[in-house]
Chain A
Amino acid sequence: RKEVEQDPGPFNVPEGATVAFNCTYSNSASQSFFWYRQDCRKEPKLLMSVYSSGNEDGRFTAQLNRASQYISLLIRDSKLSDSATYLCVVNSKGNFNKFYFGSGTKLNVKP
């Protein structure tokens, strides 16, 4: 089983739509959670960290559900510029100072 799993999509949505992505992780000891954005094989860039209480940054909201071992990303009022691949990232504490990336969910926002 993969450490982190995401629906690859693509999610094709019109401008202004609300879209949500989920990501599941397998290691219950995971400590840190992130969403990154990647444009067309360029370098990934941090979108937001995910905190236990959930957090919001403008149109973006991230949630963590430890009991079910998933994190989510909600994008409201989608813009054309939101078109990208969204990567879920998890790391584990202790012996595993490693980062695990999901394979990404592709979002296409259309006019």
Chain B
Amino acid sequence: EAQVTQNPRYLITVTGKKLTVTCSQNMNHEYMSWYRQDPGLGLRQIYYSMNVEVTDKGDVPEGYKVSRKEKRNFPLILESPSPNQTSLYFCASSPEYQETQYFGPGTRLLVL
């Protein structure tokens, strides 16, 4: 089944404790992206990747890192999480950057 998977789906952590949210797609898509969704603000793009080893900042990259060592995986790294990073995070992929995006199920993160 074609899909985007994210892990973990739910995470509670404390300020400053490094964490990684994994994202994987099995559709051989070139474009992958991370978003956060907050009430009243909609989805905001954190980072995106046009292809392996090619990543770039979205609108809200501060406090996040990403890597794209393999085409299928695009992990989101929070080196030192802070409470303002409490949010719902979505990973997405698409065949190319202008095409339909397919979203993962989301990761709910609470930073205490």
Q: Give A contacts to B, CB under 8 Å.
A: 4, 8, 31-32, 34, 41-46, 49, 87, 91, 93, 97-104
Q: Residue on B with the closest CB to A43?
A: B103
**Is A98 a contact partner of B43 (Cβ separation < 8 A)?**
no
Q: Which residues of B have CB within 8 Å of A93?
A: 98
When C-beta atoms are compared, the residue in chain A nearest to B101 turns out to be A99
Given known contacts A44-B43, A87-B42, A103-B42, A97 and B104 CB-to-CB distance under 8 angstroms: no
Assess the A97–B43 pair: CB atoms within 8 A: no
**B7 adjacent to chain A (CB < 8 Å):** no
Of B13-21, B44-52, B62-70, B71-79, the one with at least 4 CB within 8 A of chain A = B44-52
List B contacts of A101 (CB < 8 A): 35, 42-44
Q: Interface readout for B12-45 with A: 1 if CB under 8 Å, 0 if not? A: 0000000000000000000101010100111111
Interface on chain B toward A: helix, strand, loop, or mixed SS? strand
Interface residues of B (CB under 8 A from A): 31, 33, 35, 37, 40-45, 48, 50, 56, 58-59, 88, 90, 97-106
Complex Cα–Cα for A87 and B43 (A):
9
| Contact yes or no, B45 A49, CB < 8 A | no
- Measured between C-beta atoms, what is the minimum distance from A83 to chain B in Å? 18
Q: Which residues of B contact A103 (CB under 8 A)?
A: 40-42
